[in-house]
Amino acid sequence: MNMNANALASSQTATKPVILTGDRPTGSLHIGHFVGSLRNRVSLQDSHQQFILLADLQALTDNMADPDKVTSNVTEVALDYLAVGIDPGKTRICLQSQLPALSEMAMLYLNLVTVARLERNPTIKEEIRARGFERDIPAGFLCYPVSQAADITGFRATVVPVGEDQLPMIEQTNEIVRRINRQTGRDVLPETTALLSKTGRLPGIDGKAKMSKSLGNAISLSASPDEIDKAVQQMYTDAGHLRVSDPGKVEGNVVFTYLDAFDPEVDEVATLKDHYRRGGLGDSMLKQRLSSILNEIIGPIRERRYELARDLGMVRDIVRDGTQSAQELTQATLDDIKCAFGLFRL
């Protein structure tokens, strides 16, 4: 790129709204992530200046006994991003633990939040229950919404594409932003907005609300054709639909939920649903259809991922470059905040 093109590119990105999203790198990503967030990120990267955070520090808040699980998955998740079409020329992929300004911001923000407020966060409440922490909650875990507020504001992100479970985090972030702006009498930080994905959370192949690698009900982004077929065969349909001629239920039928999420032929799916409800449409025909659609989507991702994995040095370089550019940005935000509070400068 010559100088002029460079200047042009930066003047264009300067006007684009900033997006920050992120994932905890605790395992490679699956098709639930793909419908819930990854495909959105691919389409948003042209119209926005997008940063994606590999939130390893956040992942450690409940994995400190097994840091290897987190560090070994940093590259896996970065590979998933690149394989689905995240373009490092448009989107910066950054590693949270290499951005010390974010931790410093979190340290300041902790003084603007009460423990009671943290305990009221519905997502945290649910996660504490699910993890069985009871009274032994790691302090870092309870406080991760504050660290996430630092992530979002550190990048001056005004758009955060998230699932519904992350809405309380956005709310807490904006409370902190308003508090800082009010107290310092300056517009130090912008408020941020959640961008909810249109498709809700994809259930696991067993129909359970959450698809997760650890529950064994996920389809990975590198699943082979055999693994895809096997997963689709196992999918829950309708226990009352014993013979092809029986009328079947569409609601709660995992195969239809997946067709809704992945099948581009919306009208055909509507016709299939009518037919299924009337009776006369067998599960196997639907499963074949779904299997071939999933193969078409996952096939190219799997192959690209395989190719990329042959050059992990390049993947690491991409994350290093992305992180370096984020270091400057987040440090500048931290300096602004310190200055607004009038912290001592030597």
Query: Shortest Cβ distance from residue 148 to ligand TRP (Å)?
Result: 5
HEC letters along 259-317? HHHHCCCHHHHHHHHHHHHHCCCCHHHHHHHHHHHHHHHHHHHHHHHHHHCCCHHHHHH
Please, which residue, 108 or 167, has the CB nearer to ligand TRP? 167
Closest CA to 51 of 193, 156, 173: 156
Q: For 97, phi and psi rounded to 5 degrees? A: -70, -10
Please, which residue, 156 or 287, has the CB nearer to ligand TRP? 156
Contacting positions for ligand TRP (CB under 6 A) = 20-24, 53, 55, 58, 148, 151-152, 160, 162, 166
* Angle made by CA atoms 174, 175, 177, in degrees to the nearest 5: 60
Q: Which residue carries 């955070």 as its tokens?
A: 53
Please, which residue, 55 or 255, has the CB nearer to ligand TRP? 55
Please, which residue, 57 or 281, has the CB nearer to ligand TRP? 57
Please, which residue, 22 or 204, has the CB nearer to ligand TRP? 22
Q: How far apart are CA 239 and CA 113, in angstroms?
A: 49
Query: Shortest Cβ distance from residue 145 to ligand TRP (Å)?
Result: 8
Closest CA to 254 of 287, 301, 293: 287
Q: How far apart are CA 78 and CA 29, in angstroms?
A: 10
Please, which residue, 20 or 269, has the CB nearer to ligand TRP? 20
DSSP state of 30: B
Query: Shortest Cβ distance from residue 280 to ligand TRP (Å)?
Result: 42
Query: Shortest Cβ distance from residue 198 to ligand TRP (Å)?
Result: 18
Please, which residue, 99 or 290, has the CB nearer to ligand TRP? 99
Q: Which tokens go with 341?
A: 């509070």
Please, which residue, 128 or 286, has the CB nearer to ligand TRP? 128
Write the CA distances from 334 to 100, 104, 314, integer angstroms: 10, 8, 30
Write the CA distances from 11 to 4, 97, 154, integer angstroms: 11, 29, 21
Query: Shortest Cβ distance from residue 160 to ligand TRP (Å)?
Result: 5
Query: Shortest Cβ distance from residue 176 to ligand TRP (Å)?
Result: 13
Query: Shortest Cβ distance from residue 53 to ligand TRP (Å)?
Result: 5
- The crossing angle, in degrees rounded to 10, of helices 283-308 and 266-278 is 140
- Cβ(44)–Cβ(161) under 8 Å? yes
Query: Shortest Cβ distance from residue 23 to ligand TRP (Å)?
Result: 5
Closest CA to 160 of 325, 17, 308, 268: 17
Query: Shortest Cβ distance from residue 291 to ligand TRP (Å)?
Result: 29
Residues 6+ apart with CB under 8 A from 222: 28, 83, 298, 301, 302, 305, 306
Please, which residue, 21 or 63, has the CB nearer to ligand TRP? 21
Closest CA to 143 of 226, 57, 267: 57
Closest-approach residue to ligand TRP (CB): 22
